[in-house]
A and B are shown apart, each in its own frame.
Chain A
């Protein structure tokens, strides 16, 4: 029953794939991509570095240095493909798992860690890299993305916006409202849904009875399903979608068909709700291995190249670790900072009270 309702993607026009799991380059009638070996090597490097950021952060959580981490393991191609399609004038609205997109946008991974270590609630400036703050409430950011795109329409901006969300979020009212808004106002926003098959413990069939990309049609814009583990296909599809949006042709929904290879977060235990065999199946579709196979087969990547990328990833991991450990615990009184841009008499009073109270311990200790 479920199988029939949710057809597994196959080769064909409904599933954009340019690089098979075996690393074989294939063509698609609607999407093509001219890439040099150098560019593919660059994408390979991105994928490896992003995975290394992720594994290091998971390790930091296990060692008690982060309170939580939301792993992107398995979704590297979806995020790097989308992230590398974004130009400088484009703006990304992430969930809390878009570490790979952040990396592509030039955000230092250490910047992301404050939220997970508990030293901040985010704290970065979205304008620095065109990368909005992580949003934890599921789907809320799709409306922000749509509004931002409406702003671009109004101030003559030439960019486009990409809204990231997942299969679980597709059930949220806000996501559906964002679809309505984007459609009605023809906003330059690309909805990029990483369908990683699981919303914590709930499989896709708890969210939908049709393939997610087909929902777009009901809202009045196109939907495309892409092999989310194929960085070339994701790059081709997102580039085309952004170009379309920038040209004033409105929104588009991309369903990047992928798999959350790890737990929902470090607090989750997926062995309680899914079979190990499923993970083994998806390991065969690993987003990094296929690029490595492709490069190797073409003679475009030798042992020296792969070793150099590995060495670079170790250095990045060391940077992430050192940066994490160096994040200072904030002074308690900073909790009152930035509640308001213009201040508040109530907060002034409470800050003063807490300050006096805390100072009383210093007095007593003297």
Chain B
């Protein structure tokens, strides 16, 4: 048991994966000598060499496209996209090649890529450094999408993600990189990354969320206690496929559901979650499924981002509306 930041927990998870399987490679911009702009790959090049921790030219399509070739050759590349907003030059390779190679080859070619993307806002950054593009990838058949919300999950989820024979887009909530928590290395071996977790048990209403918004929702639930509300928080962890049974079981119990994410709500994962809950829990619901998320704007200038991002008050406002329906 050790107390680690999320960045360090990911670093340890990557190290374990590399020690376990010599075919695991890390590639991306600044991942080697610098150790990544968030230091997630710190020290790995020094220990595993330049052939396994590859500082790449500065071109995202090239990172993913060459990783496809390496995967065909039998390697297991872990690609870092430096920031969420820089994934789009690689979008074509991800959507048209990575996601489809196994299908196109009728199962002959596996694509065991892990594409790590620091995502989300709240760090006062310039444009293209605060996006939440997870819906694009969850929408794409052939990809699986994961996101962690705390250091222990970061450590335990990154390893099965790398070991998985399917391509995984692994979203890391960058404003939580420096959150600290206890991490038990022994848990990792048996951990599943495909199940949702009830991060807080409650009875009044369910907050369904993931990634950076999990802590927001836990804070909101703690604050709501003084109002006599006992909120349940479900951390999805897997965004594609989603562990619906955990979600539905919670909503059937609390009869109220609020979905929280930083992404703009229109045609979003939150929309899909709301639709599914409505379809499967219709007779349990006391109120429509409500959603709290980013505005349908480009990510705004950082001085107003706190008004864009779901915060404790907006979450609780939605809970009040649901309970008062």
Instruction: List residues of A whose CB falls within 8 A of some B CB.
Output: 93, 120-127, 132-133, 135, 137, 140, 142-155, 157, 173-174, 177-178, 180-181, 184, 337-342, 344-347
Q: Does B192 contact A (CB under 8 A)?
A: no
**In the complex the two chains form, what is the Cα distance from A339 to B244 in whole Å?**
20
- B142: nearest chain-A partner, CB-CB: A339
**B118 CB to closest chain A CB, in angstroms?**
22
Q: Does B295 contact A (CB under 8 A)?
A: no
Q: Does B303 contact A (CB under 8 A)?
A: no
| Structural contact, A144 and B59, CB atoms closer than 8 A | no
**In the complex the two chains form, what is the Cα distance from A341 to B112 in whole Å?**
9
Q: Does B124 contact A (CB under 8 A)?
A: no
| Structural contact, B69 and A342, CB atoms closer than 8 A | no
- A180: nearest chain-B partner, CB-CB: B57
**B317 CB to closest chain A CB, in angstroms?**
32
Q: Does B51 contact A (CB under 8 A)?
A: yes
Of the listed stretches B97-105, B204-212, B254-262, name the one at the interface; the rest are far from the partner chain: B97-105
Q: Does B288 contact A (CB under 8 A)?
A: no
A-B contact count (CB 8 A): 146
| Structural contact, A181 and B66, CB atoms closer than 8 A | yes
- A125: nearest chain-B partner, CB-CB: B108
| Structural contact, B96 and A177, CB atoms closer than 8 A | no
| Structural contact, A144 and B103, CB atoms closer than 8 A | no
Q: Which of A142, A150, A337, A342 contacts B166 (CB 8 A)?
A: A342
Q: Which of A155, A174, A344 contacts B74 (CB 8 A)?
A: A155
- Of A120, A126, A150, A152, most buried by chain B (CB within 10 Å of CB) is A150
Q: Does B144 contact A (CB under 8 A)?
A: yes
Q: Which residues from chain B contact A153 at a C-beta distance below 8 Å?
A: 51
| Structural contact, A140 and B92, CB atoms closer than 8 A | yes
Q: Which residues from chain A contact B244 at a C-beta distance below 8 Å?
A: 345
- B238: nearest chain-A partner, CB-CB: A345
Q: Does B222 contact A (CB under 8 A)?
A: no
- A134: nearest chain-B partner, CB-CB: B104
Q: Does B61 contact A (CB under 8 A)?
A: yes
- Complex A-B, nearest 6 residue pairs according to Cβ-Cβ distance, in ascending order: A147-B69, A143-B65, A151-B73, A147-B66, A125-B108, A148-B69
Q: Which of B92-141 contact A (CB under 8 A)?
A: 92-93, 96-97, 100-110, 141
| Structural contact, B57 and A148, CB atoms closer than 8 A | no
Q: Does B287 contact A (CB under 8 A)?
A: no
- A137: nearest chain-B partner, CB-CB: B96
Known: A143-B66, A177-B57. A123 touches B102 (CB 8 A): no
Q: Which residues from chain B contact A344 at a C-beta distance below 8 Å?
A: 144, 241
- A147: nearest chain-B partner, CB-CB: B69
Q: Does B305 contact A (CB under 8 A)?
A: no
Q: Does B312 contact A (CB under 8 A)?
A: no
Q: What's the dominant secondary structure at chain A's contact region? A: helix
| Structural contact, A342 and B70, CB atoms closer than 8 A | no
| Structural contact, A125 and B70, CB atoms closer than 8 A | no
| Structural contact, A121 and B104, CB atoms closer than 8 A | yes
**In the complex the two chains form, what is the Cα distance from A215 to B61 in whole Å?**
20
**In the complex the two chains form, what is the Cα distance from A152 to B74 in whole Å?**
10
Q: Which residues from chain B contact A124 at a C-beta distance below 8 Å?
A: 105-106, 108
| Structural contact, A120 and B65, CB atoms closer than 8 A | no
Q: Which residues from chain B contact A120 at a C-beta distance below 8 Å?
A: 106
Known: A155-B73, A338-B102. A144 touches B165 (CB 8 A): no
Q: Which residues from chain B contact A137 at a C-beta distance below 8 Å?
A: 92, 96-97
**In the complex the two chains form, what is the Cα distance from A125 to B51 in whole Å?**
27
Q: Which of A125, A144, A184, A337 contacts B69 (CB 8 A)?
A: A144
Q: Which residues from chain A contact B107 at a C-beta distance below 8 Å?
A: 337-338, 341
- Of B96, B104, B144, most buried by chain A (CB within 10 Å of CB) is B104
| Structural contact, A337 and B106, CB atoms closer than 8 A | yes
Q: Which residues from chain B contact A133 at a C-beta distance below 8 Å?
A: 101, 104-105, 109
Known: A124-B108, A151-B75, A152-B73. A143 touches B102 (CB 8 A): no
**In the complex the two chains form, what is the Cα distance from A146 to B70 in whole Å?**
8
Q: Does B285 contact A (CB under 8 A)?
A: no
- B111: nearest chain-A partner, CB-CB: A341
Q: Which residues from chain B contact A154 at a C-beta distance below 8 Å?
A: 25, 51, 70, 75
Q: Which of A127, A143, A146, A151 contacts B108 (CB 8 A)?
A: A127
Known: A146-B69, A147-B68, A148-B69. A340 touches B105 (CB 8 A): no
| Structural contact, A144 and B104, CB atoms closer than 8 A | no
**A35 CB to closest chain B CB, in angstroms?**
33
Q: Which residues from chain A contact B51 at a C-beta distance below 8 Å?
A: 153-154
Known: A155-B74, A180-B59, A345-B241. A125 touches B105 (CB 8 A): yes
| Structural contact, B69 and A346, CB atoms closer than 8 A | no
Q: Does B223 contact A (CB under 8 A)?
A: no
| Structural contact, A178 and B165, CB atoms closer than 8 A | no
Q: Which residues from chain A contact B108 at a C-beta distance below 8 Å?
A: 123-127
Q: A121-B106, A140-B96 are in contact. List 17 more A-B contacts (CB 8 A).
A: A123-B106, A125-B105, A126-B105, A126-B109, A127-B108, A133-B105, A143-B64, A144-B68, A147-B69, A151-B70, A155-B73, A177-B59, A339-B103, A339-B141, A339-B142, A342-B165, A347-B241
Q: Does B72 contact A (CB under 8 A)?
A: yes
Q: What are 17 A-to-B residue pairs whose CB atoms are below 8 Å?
A: A93-B69, A123-B105, A123-B108, A126-B109, A140-B92, A143-B61, A143-B62, A146-B65, A146-B69, A148-B69, A154-B75, A155-B74, A178-B66, A341-B110, A342-B164, A344-B241, A347-B241
**In the complex the two chains form, what is the Cα distance from A184 to B103 in whole Å?**
32
Q: Which of B160-210 contact A (CB under 8 A)?
A: 164-166
Q: Which residues from chain B contact A339 at a C-beta distance below 8 Å?
A: 102-103, 141-142
- Of B25, B73, B164, most buried by chain A (CB within 10 Å of CB) is B73
| Structural contact, A151 and B74, CB atoms closer than 8 A | yes
**B263 CB to closest chain A CB, in angstroms?**
19
- Of A340, A344, A347, most buried by chain B (CB within 10 Å of CB) is A340
**In the complex the two chains form, what is the Cα distance from A20 to B237 in whole Å?**
65
Q: Does B240 contact A (CB under 8 A)?
A: yes
Q: Which of B72, B75, B92, B144 contacts A144 (CB 8 A)?
A: B72
| Structural contact, B240 and A346, CB atoms closer than 8 A | yes
Q: Which residues from chain B contact A340 at a C-beta distance below 8 Å?
A: 102, 142, 144, 166
